[in-house]
């Protein structure tokens, strides 16, 4: 039977984690594609590698440092955009920087962590309860913020000038 993996706890965790990520990413993806920032996921993925390496190097749980580095990377891309750097160039800068920092920090570590590849390429059947809680918490934050700011984000996504004229705080909402 197809659903036999749900008899095991790792299968249930994988299904729940996958559903949380799917709903959250699909919801955000609409805005990302309409704003022509689809490359941002690849760029922030490489920034996350730098965060994972930082976590291994400092001994902090790597997913926490990855989340912090992705948030910092997204803010960095936005800040570069305000300096009139094109969005694809800003993403490329953070893309290269995150990858370079990750390589340097992994090489500075005493030994390469055995589970580095599972952090980089993922193994949904290997997620633990903490990972599911982290995904659920972040997913809820994203969905609540999206629900609260839905009208504003739609206005900014479709016509930034209209949103600005309508009195919306475009810079803060971006």
Residue 137 pLDDT: 95
Are residues 11 and 73 both part of a single domain?
Answer: no
Are residues 8 and 25 both part of a single domain?
Answer: yes
Residue 115 pLDDT: 65
Are residues 45 and 58 both part of a single domain?
Answer: yes
Are residues 98 and 135 both part of a single domain?
Answer: no
What is the Cα–Cα distance from 55 to 32, expressed in whole angstroms? 28
Are residues 107 and 77 both part of a single domain?
Answer: yes
Residue 20 pLDDT: 95
Are residues 49 and 112 both part of a single domain?
Answer: yes
Residue 132 pLDDT: 92
What is the Cα–Cα distance from 54 to 89, expressed in whole angstroms? 24
- pTM, two decimals, is 0.70
What is the Cα–Cα distance from 170 to 174, expressed in whole angstroms? 6
Straight-line distance from the first to the last Cα atom of the chain, in angstroms, rounded to the nearest whole number: 46
- Here the tokens at position 48 are 């996350």
What is the Cα–Cα distance from 48 to 28, expressed in whole angstroms? 18
Q: What is the pLDDT along the chain (174 residues), one digit of tens a residue?
A: 567 777 888 888 989 999 999 999 999 888 888 887 788 888 888 899 899 889 888 888 888 999 999 999 989 988 888 888 888 888 888 889 888 998 888 888 766 666 666 667 777 877 889 989 999 999 999 999 999 999 998 998 888 888 889 888 888 887
76: containing domain = 39-124
Per the structure, how many domains does the chain have? 2
Residue 17 pLDDT: 92
Residue 47 pLDDT: 92
């Amino acid at each position: 039977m197809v659903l036999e993996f749900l008899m095991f706890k790792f299968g249930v965790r994988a299904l729940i984690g996958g559903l949380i990520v799917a709903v959250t990413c699909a919801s955000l993806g609409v805005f990302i594609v309409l704003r022509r920032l689809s490359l941002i996921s690849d760029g922030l993925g490489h920034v996350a590698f730098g965060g994972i390496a930082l976590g291994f190097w400092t001994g902090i749980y790597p997913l926490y440092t990855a989340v912090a580095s992705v948030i910092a990377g997204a803010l960095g891309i936005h800040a570069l955009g305000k300096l009139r750097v094109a969005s694809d160039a800003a993403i490329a800068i953070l893309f290269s920087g995150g990858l370079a920092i990750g390589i340097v920090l992994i090489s500075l570590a005493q030994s390469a962590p055995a589970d580095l590849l599972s952090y980089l390429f993922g193994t949904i059947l290997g997620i633990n309860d903490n990972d599911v809680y982290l995904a659920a918490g972040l997913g809820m934050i994203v969905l609540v913020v999206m629900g609260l700011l839905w009208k504003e984000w739609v206005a900014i996504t479709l016509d930034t000038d209209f949103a600005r004229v309508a009195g919306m705080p475009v810079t803060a909402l971006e």
